[in-house]
């Protein structure tokens, strides 16, 4: 069985997370194919995801965004996330949201590493949701993190 994943990303972000995601997806070719759709900012990601589902018949979407460092950007991220959940409820399919706040980085290099790490780990989450759901169940309650070290299970 073969799956099509939509990659939605933005021109606002300061790092091209899609390139890392694509590398992961290529490991699973041809079982996993992808299609990419770039929009200006994170608030355009909900409709971009919906278009990827409706027009391009994707089975899952990975939505990549970097909310800026202003206070207002937190509100934008909240609006985008709410929209991304609403799209999932419209189509009953997963959108893996990969948001890295600009403020999460101690400096530019740290921010870049965090974006790379979160993008790659969530690309594998996307693969697992489609191909190996049992792998996720085995890790339930284990404190897995993306963009950071895993937490300690209790």
**Residues of this chain, 66-125, that bind its own copies according to CB under 8 A:** 68, 72, 74-83, 85-90, 92-97, 101, 108-109, 111-112, 115, 122, 125
Q: Which of 4, 51, 117, 131 binds its own copies (CB under 8 A)?
A: 51
Measured from the CB atom, is 111 or 120 closer to its own copies? 111
Measured from the CB atom, is 4 or 144 closer to its own copies? 144
CB 57 to its own copies: min, Å: 13
Bridge partner list, 62:
7, 96
Using CB under 8 A as the binding rule, the residues of this chain from 14 to 43 that contact its own copies are 14-19, 36-40, 43
Question: Does residue 136 belong to the site contacting its own copies (CB under 8 A)?
Answer: yes
CA distances from 78 to 50, 57, 69, 97, 136 (A): 18, 26, 14, 12, 26
Q: Which of 46, 59, 123, 147 binds its own copies (CB under 8 A)?
A: 46
- The secondary structure of 87-151, three-state, reads HHHHHCCCEEEEECCHHHCCCHHHHHHHHHHHHHHHHHHHHHHHHCHHHHHHCCCCCCCCCCCCC
């Amino acid at each position: 069985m073969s799956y099509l994943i939509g990659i939605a990303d933005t021109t606002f972000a300061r790092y091209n997370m899609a390139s890392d995601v694509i590398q992961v997806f290529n490991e699973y070719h041809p079982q996993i194919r992808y299609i990419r759709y770039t929009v200006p900012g994170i608030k355009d990601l909900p409709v971009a995801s919906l278009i990827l589902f409706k027009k391009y018949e994707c089975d899952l979407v990975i939505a990549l965004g970097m909310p800026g460092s202003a206070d207002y950007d937190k509100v934008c991220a909240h609006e985008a996330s709410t929209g991304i959940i609403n799209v999932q409820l419209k189509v009953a399919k997963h959108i893996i949201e990969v948001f890295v706040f600009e403020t999460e980085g101690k400096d530019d290099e740290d921010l870049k590493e965090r974006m790379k790490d979160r993008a790659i780990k969530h690309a594998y989450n996307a693969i697992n949701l489609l191909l190996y759901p049992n792998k996720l169940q085995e890790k339930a309650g284990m404190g897995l993190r993306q963009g950071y070290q895993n937490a300690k299970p209790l």
